[in-house]
A = this chain, B = another copy of it.
Amino acid sequence: MTEQESISTIVSLARKRANQLSALSNEKRNQLLASISKKIKNSRNEIAVANQKDIDSASDLVAKGELSQVLVNRLNLSDDKIDQLSSYLESVSKLDDPIGKIQYEVTLDDGLELSRVSCPIGVLAIIFESRPEVVIQVSALCLKSGNAVILKGGSEAFHSNRVLYSIISSVLKEFGLEGAVGLIETRDDVSDLLSYDQEIDLIIPRGSNSFVKYIQDNTRIPVLGHSSGICHLFIHSQCDRKKAVDITLDAKLDYPSACNAVETLLIDRDVQDDIFQEILMALQNKSVKLLGCSDTIGRADSLNIKLQAVSDEDWSTEYGDLVLSIKIVDSLVEAIDHINQYGSHHTDSIITEDQKSADRFFERVDSACVFHNASTRFSDGFVFGLGAEVGISTNKTHARGPVGLEGLIIYKYLLKGKGHIKAPYSGKNAKPFLHAIP
């Protein structure tokens, strides 16, 4: 957003562009992505200059101890990343066209043909943090699916976001679609945006739990997202020792700050001592801080493993770090109940060789992703073969779990008649509908 643009201008332009985008062919949309890809590669210097400004500011904050080096690294738009972004755009353009797909067809009566066809949602608002390349990734997904989008990136990537946005804008301008991607830059702008529930069709906040709740509390716009990733592993009594150990380590250590990392380990009381011991010691050897329920502490103690006590709040805490809470449960049912009560309905896995228990876990665990003998870390749109990921949703409507392009589309019903009126199909001697599926 430049100084001259108001939120209302951005929103109404996006609305207008959404209408144009809905009529754009897949070929045109792909040309758009190809042009952005090309322009990014040709703008390396410009991008580097802007990116360096953000890195310098962030480094100052690191020096003052106000920011972690990890966040600074995330800001970096290296030459490699530019190339990756460019190939990302190409891969998105190769995805199946998600719009114009006939989902349902029925002949209501002679000459009265109904179809349900996929179409873009319209205007999306997507709010994300730190990594500036998200500007490109999200714009690509929205344009591919025929949606206009208003973006708000992290303030620490201010200059990088702006330069990437200006690249997209200049290409959109060439296509007569300037404003199909909008950018806003402050928290106040976000607050303003929330009142445009007539113009914005879906908002996807990617951020902290409290931030998502703030959005939910302050808008009528439907919200898609996940507030937290409190994932569980349940080690069943009939588990395989190696699977239990390997998966526990992977789910905690592969990427601890990811939302699909495990936060709570549930262990059946009947799991053998040697397995129990091996898991706990392996975790401690990898510097994972273990917090246990009193039963866990007692049992660990008898095996010479010292644990700290877990608090009630821990069961619903996303550590995002090398911390794991551990609870001993008496049964599969207790494990399922714990997961459904304290989890965030994101991803939960059971380790067992007993098929019946796995089936019951699949049936009863109320989560977007339910796994058997696999690490929670597999919960990801690319891994799932969705081609691209908009985010992971713990919503139970519209789109759940890893959300690909499909989460950015909806459908409309199209009815073709020959002058048909409704009256003859009502009341006494009503004409019946054919409801013939072609």
Contact = CB atoms under 8 A, between A and B. Distances in A.
Interface of A: 18-19, 22-23, 106, 108, 112, 114, 121-122, 197, 201-202, 213, 216-217, 220, 222-224, 240, 242-243, 246-247, 249-251, 254, 340, 349, 358, 360, 362-364, 366-375, 377-379, 383-385, 395-398, 400-402, 410-423, 425-426, 433, 435
Given A385-B433, A402-B413, A378 B122 contact: no
Contacts of A425: 383
Nearest to A369: B413
A251 B411 CA distance: 23
A90 to B, nearest CB: 18
Question: At the interface, is chain A mostly helix, strand, loop or mixed?
Answer: mixed
A370 B400 contact: no
A158 to B, nearest CB: 30
A367 B412 contact: yes
A423 B377 CA distance: 9
Contact of A369 (B370, B396, B415): B415
Contacts of A435: 385
Q: Which of A412, A418, A433 has the most CB of B within 10 A?
A: A412
Contact of A247 (B112, B419, B426): B419
A111 to B, nearest CB: 9
Contacts of A401: 411-413
Contacts of A419: 240, 242-243, 246-247, 373-374
Contact of A370 (B19, B201, B414): B414
Given A114-B385, A222-B222, A421-B254, A413 B201 contact: no
Nearest to A15: B340
Given A385-B108, A397-B222, A412 B372 contact: no
Contacts of A250: 421-423
8 contacts: A106-B384, A202-B397, A367-B412, A373-B417, A374-B417, A375-B417, A384-B413, A400-B410
A393 to B, nearest CB: 10
A422 to B, nearest CB: 4
Contact of A22 (B363, B369, B373, B385): B363
A395 B240 CA distance: 47
B224 A216 contact: no
A275 B216 CA distance: 50
B254 A423 contact: yes
Contacts of A417: 371-375, 378
A122 B368 CA distance: 12
A258 to B, nearest CB: 10
A422 B216 contact: no
Given A114-B385, A216-B220, A397-B201, A420 B374 contact: yes
A288 to B, nearest CB: 15
Shortest Cβ-Cβ A-B pairs, 5 listed: A374-B417, A250-B421, A377-B422, A243-B419, A398-B398
A421 B202 contact: no
B384 A420 contact: no
A420 B243 CA distance: 8
Nearest to A19: B364
A276 to B, nearest CB: 18
A5 to B, nearest CB: 21
B396 A254 contact: no
With most chain B CB atoms within 10 A of its CB, the pick from A19, A250, A373, A397 is A397
A242 to B, nearest CB: 7
A348 B379 CA distance: 41
Nearest to A212: B220
B375 A420 contact: yes
